[in-house]
Structure 1
Amino acid sequence: MALAFPSTVRALLRRWRVLSLARQYLLAGAAVLVVGMVVIGFWVTRQIEEGVTQNTATATALYVDGVIAPLLADIDGSSVLSEGARRALDETLAQGALGARLETFKLWGRGGLITYSSDPSLIGKRFQPTDSLKKAWSGHVAAEFDDLDDDEDATERGSDVPLLEIYNPIRAPWSGEIVAVAEFYEHAGDLENGLFAARLRSWFVVAAVTLAMMGALFGIVMRGSATIARQRSDLEGRVADLQRLLAENRRLGRRVREASSRVAALNERTLRRLSADLHDGPAQLLALASLRLGSPGLAQSGDPAKVEEIRSIRGFLDEAMSDIRGICHGLALPTIESLDLAGLVETAALAHERRTGTHVRLDLPAQPVALSPAEKIGVYRFVQEGLTNAFRHAGGAGQAVTVRLDAERLTVRVDDRGGGIGAAEPGLGLSGLRDRIESLGGTLDVETGPEGTGLVMTIANVRELAA
């Protein structure tokens, strides 16, 4: 049972959320207005009942006071009435319209003493003063409609007609002092009918006003809800279009990256083939020419000028062959398919150290990181070009490669203590390197300061391998 209640609440909340704003307002507003209508209706009818009851009681009290007061001129309120006064009251209350309107009559003295009653058995008895009796002793007319719960109301409770209980202060003729309180019970059938009609009219008015308010507000909310529904539909359509465009953009982005990867691989194969062609073609011919110039027949020529010219030509050929070998070495990538990120950077740095005789400081992550083939080529070429620029512009001073990896991106940085990098070179220079990195969805930044120059490569969404 305890588990069923939350599930029921969740089901109701789900049903509530699928309703339109107008229906939600209709239900919530109806509940609030109905509660307000009930509270206001009870308050209004209560005010009407009290007002009508008090006005009726005041009118009756004035009438009774005009008839009864002359008979009570000599009472002091501290003892029961004399026999003569009781007979005079009995005769007066039994005659005319007053006798027909009154059910019972009591006269209260001080301290809750009944000094007279139309029920002789109550005369001389004392009762605890009620709030209405105390109010009458303070000089005000008090009335209660069909409320017969007091101890002295035992006789009246047996009546089968509605009664209006009225407490009226009796004042001394000359001093105006309250000497007694007259309590009488008036037949209130007409008052009951009037109160019932007044209640109906008040409830009708309150209900009509409530319905009018609800109808007016519901009409406003309906128009607003219709506008919101149209805007929501338009917005959902636009969001759907945007999602389709985003999906298409992601698809095109994947195709671009795949194409960039294929182009990078094709370029590397082309460069590898060009390196092999240079090594097997021009480099071999230059080596052969250098060997022929060093043959004994030419080296033992008797003409010193000719020997010097041959030596100079052979030096140029050796220098050209060395440059071609360097170009071949730079064009051809080593085998990097099986290397992770750290091994890739170490391989590039070691090749640079062998080629230049300088030292490269490395700061690499401990965890292995898997890269795509295009990303491997991009990182290797970036480190290669960055270290080449560091050697060219700073003589290899302060060469360092730093790799940082977080949840969103991979950052590779090459620093040196040089004064800066000049204009970007074509081919494998910075312009080509920037194009290569941007094709991977990354960025290339150049940072120059008093302490040196730094090349920063950033690639997002790199896949990290489990250790």
Structure 2
Amino acid sequence: MVVETIPRWSTLSLSRQFILLSSVLLLLAVALLGQWVSTRIQDAVEEDVGHRAAIFLEHFLEPYIGELAVTGDLSPQSRAAISADLARISKGLNVLQTRLWTPGGRILLASDPGLEGRTLPVAGSLAEAVAGRIAVESEDHLHSETLAGRRVFEVYVPIRSAPGGPVVAVAEFYQDGAALLSILGWTRTQTWAIVALVSLGLLAGVYGLVDRGSATIQRQRAEIEARVAELTRLLHHNEFLRRRIQQASSRSAEDSETQMRRIGADLHDGIGQLLTIASLRLEQLFPQGGVHNGNYLLVKSMLDDAMTEVRAMVAGLALPQMQGLPLAAAVSTIVMKHRHRTSTEVRLTLPDDLDEPSNPVKLAICRFVQEGLSNAFKHAHGAPCAVGVRSDAAGLLVQVADDGPGLSRPSSSPDAKRQPLGLAGLRNRVESLGGEFRILSTPGRGTTIIGHFPREA
């Protein structure tokens, strides 16, 4: 039941939540406040009745207090006089029954003569009066069975021999309180009604403020939800465009690689073949005797230099045949050819469980290693290098490090325009596939380029 109630409560507006919760609290507050006020009014009425009765009885029994203090009893003459006086004034005071008790619980005098001389346990209101306190009750009748069901005040007044002295007797009388109790009941009703009206008025005023605030919050919440929905839509659209750009970049990289291989093949089959033919024709034009000819040597040297340049260009443009090779074999081939071409030391680290990426990513990694080694050979002046490729949770991590002098200025800034052209090209190649590119360089301690590639472009 609680589990079903919570969603319903959360779907309510703030103003409805407030009115429901405030109504419960208001009922509790009205009940507590009304009960407290009613109790205070009843206590005040009973206290007033008790004090009036005490003043009257002390004055009425004053001639007989001395006799009670000395003997603890009343003479027949005193009994007759008190009974006659009480019978005369009881009707005017709405007194229904009267009794006079000793502190030990014996009835000295009663409007019902049959009760005189009986001894009852000292308890309840009688005990309070024996202790010296005025006791007034309007519901419980401890010593009157004949008045059961009637609305009366039961009053117990301690009678003392002197102010502050010991209690010599207790006067008890039952006063008809129907009229006074009716007024008291009507006062209670009015008190409850006033408390409820005032509380409802306060609740209505506060509810008006809360309702306005709730309406403002609901309107702002709707606007925020609409903006969040629009931002979410734009985010998804941007993600779609980003993937399209990465796909286009990947296709562009593959197209560029194909074009570079074609250019390399054209250079090898075109200019390379022409240079080879020219060199052979030169040897035919200058037979054995041309070896010592200065012009022959000059032309032969120029043709050999041109062929070397063409071969270098072809080697840089065309990657090894990596289409059918796994990533580890392709990287190993690139490193081996770099060692053979530059005669430099390159440490290669490849784990046995290296993941196999998609073809565009493998192509980008091979270009990353080739370009990184070429930059290291050029700027680190042939210093030893290290190449490492490993898999992690996000993809493939590739590092190319050298032991050269390091970069002369910080190159780890993401601003590719301030970096050398080769580093900017590497950054663009890595980021176009959705990867990350970093440069770590310390003057005198070498440079490390790091590329973090996804497994799928």
Identify the TM-score tier after normalising by the shorter chain.
0.7 to 0.9
What does the per-residue CA deviation read over 1:8-35, in whole Å, with 9 as the maximum and x for residues that have no partner? 2121111111110100111011111111
Structure 2 residue ranges without an equivalent (≥5): 409-417
Relative to structure 1, the CA distance from residue 225 to residue 401 in structure 2 (aligned partners, 3 Å threshold; closer, same or farther) is same
Q: How far has the Cα of 1:192 moved from its partner?
A: 1.5
C-alpha distance in structure 1 between counterparts of 2:70 and 2:17, whole Å: 66
> Quick one: which of 23, 31, 38 aligns to 1:38?
31
Q: How do residues 354-369 of structure 1 correspond to structure 2 at under 5 angstroms? A: 354-364=340-350, 367-369=353-355
Relative to structure 1, the CA distance from residue 174 to residue 331 in structure 2 (aligned partners, 3 Å threshold; closer, same or farther) is closer
What does the per-residue CA deviation read over 1:113-147, in whole Å, with 9 as the maximum and x for residues that have no partner? 43333344544444443353344344432211112
Do the aligned partners of 2:320 and 2:330 also contact (CA within 8 Å) in 1? Answer: no
Q: How far has the Cα of 1:42 moved from its partner?
A: 1.0
Residue 4 of structure 1 corresponds to none
Residue 153 of structure 2 corresponds to 164
Residue 288 of structure 1 corresponds to 277
Residue 455 of structure 1 corresponds to 449
Q: What is the SS of the residue equivalent to 2:192?
A: helix
Residue 385 of structure 1 corresponds to 371
**Worse-superposed segment, 358-367 or 283-292:** 358-367
C-alpha distance in structure 1 between counterparts of 2:29 and 2:84, whole Å: 53
What does the per-residue CA deviation read over 1:329-373, in whole Å, with 9 as the maximum and x for residues that have no partner? 221123444556545543433332343343432344554435343
Q: Identity, % of aligned pairs?
A: 39
Relative to structure 1, the CA distance from residue 462 to residue 215 in structure 2 (aligned partners, 3 Å threshold; closer, same or farther) is farther
> Quick one: which of 210, 214, 237 aligns to 2:199?
210
Do the aligned partners of 1:72 and 1:85 also contact (CA within 8 Å) in 2? Answer: no
> Quick one: which of 397, 416, 419 aligns to 1:411?
397
Q: How do residues 425-464 of structure 1 correspond to structure 2 at under 5 angstroms? A: 426=421, 429-449=422-442, 450-459=444-453, 462=455
C-alpha distance in structure 2 between counterparts of 1:80 and 1:345, whole Å: 128
Residue 196 of structure 1 corresponds to 185
Relative to structure 1, the CA distance from residue 170 to residue 21 in structure 2 (aligned partners, 3 Å threshold; closer, same or farther) is same
Residue 415 of structure 2 corresponds to none
Q: What is the SS of the residue equivalent to 2:68?
A: coil
Residue 412 of structure 2 corresponds to none
C-alpha distance in structure 2 between counterparts of 1:343 and 1:80, whole Å: 129
What does the per-residue CA deviation read over 1:144-168, in whole Å, with 9 as the maximum and x for residues that have no partner? 11122x4xx2525x53311211111
What does the per-residue CA deviation read over 1:216-273, in whole Å, with 9 as the maximum and x for residues that have no partner? 1101100100110111111111112111211221121111111111111110111010
> Quick one: which of 237, 246, 254 aligns to 1:248?
237
Do the aligned partners of 2:268 and 2:311 also contact (CA within 8 Å) in 1? Answer: yes
Q: Which amino acid aligns with 1:288?
A: I
Residue 300 of structure 1 corresponds to 288
- Aligned pair count reads 447
Relative to structure 1, the CA distance from residue 187 to residue 267 in structure 2 (aligned partners, 3 Å threshold; closer, same or farther) is same
Relative to structure 1, the CA distance from residue 96 to residue 265 in structure 2 (aligned partners, 3 Å threshold; closer, same or farther) is same
C-alpha distance in structure 2 between counterparts of 1:174 and 1:315, whole Å: 146
Q: What is the SS of the residue equivalent to 1:147?
A: coil
Q: How far has the Cα of 1:290 moved from its partner?
A: 2.1
Tell me, yes or no, if structure 1 residue 58 matches structure 2 residue 51: yes
> Quick one: which of 244, 248, 256 aligns to 1:259?
248
> Quick one: which of 271, 291, 305 aligns to 2:260?
271
Do the aligned partners of 1:419 and 1:448 also contact (CA within 8 Å) in 2? Answer: no
Residue 76 of structure 2 corresponds to 83
C-alpha distance in structure 2 between counterparts of 1:105 and 1:186, whole Å: 9
C-alpha distance in structure 1 between counterparts of 2:263 and 2:81, whole Å: 144
C-alpha distance in structure 1 between counterparts of 2:93 and 2:49, whole Å: 17
What does the per-residue CA deviation read over 1:434-459, in whole Å, with 9 as the maximum and x for residues that have no partner? 22223223343332213211112234
Do the aligned partners of 1:109 and 1:180 also contact (CA within 8 Å) in 2? Answer: yes
Q: How do residues 3-18 of structure 1 correspond to structure 2 at under 5 angstroms? A: 8-18=1-11
What does the per-residue CA deviation read over 1:169-215, in whole Å, with 9 as the maximum and x for residues that have no partner? 21225885432221222111012201111110110111011101110
C-alpha distance in structure 2 between counterparts of 1:99 and 1:316, whole Å: 151
Relative to structure 1, the CA distance from residue 227 to residue 275 in structure 2 (aligned partners, 3 Å threshold; closer, same or farther) is same
Q: What is the SS of the residue equivalent to 1:210?
A: helix
Q: What is the SS of the residue equivalent to 1:418?
A: coil
Q: What is the SS of the residue equivalent to 2:348?
A: strand
Q: How far has the Cα of 1:431 moved from its partner?
A: 2.8
C-alpha distance in structure 2 between counterparts of 1:48 and 1:206, whole Å: 14
Residue 387 of structure 2 corresponds to 401
The alignment's C-alpha RMSD in Å is: 2.8
Q: How far has the Cα of 1:98 moved from its partner?
A: 4.8
Relative to structure 1, the CA distance from residue 116 to residue 367 in structure 2 (aligned partners, 3 Å threshold; closer, same or farther) is farther
C-alpha distance in structure 1 between counterparts of 2:122 and 2:264, whole Å: 123
Do the aligned partners of 2:97 and 2:111 also contact (CA within 8 Å) in 1? Answer: yes
Residue 353 of structure 1 corresponds to 339
C-alpha distance in structure 2 between counterparts of 1:175 and 1:455, whole Å: 105
Q: What is the SS of the residue equivalent to 2:57?
A: helix
Do the aligned partners of 1:78 and 1:110 also contact (CA within 8 Å) in 2? Answer: no
Structure 1 residue ranges without an equivalent (≥5): 1-7
Q: Which amino acid aligns with 1:51?
A: A
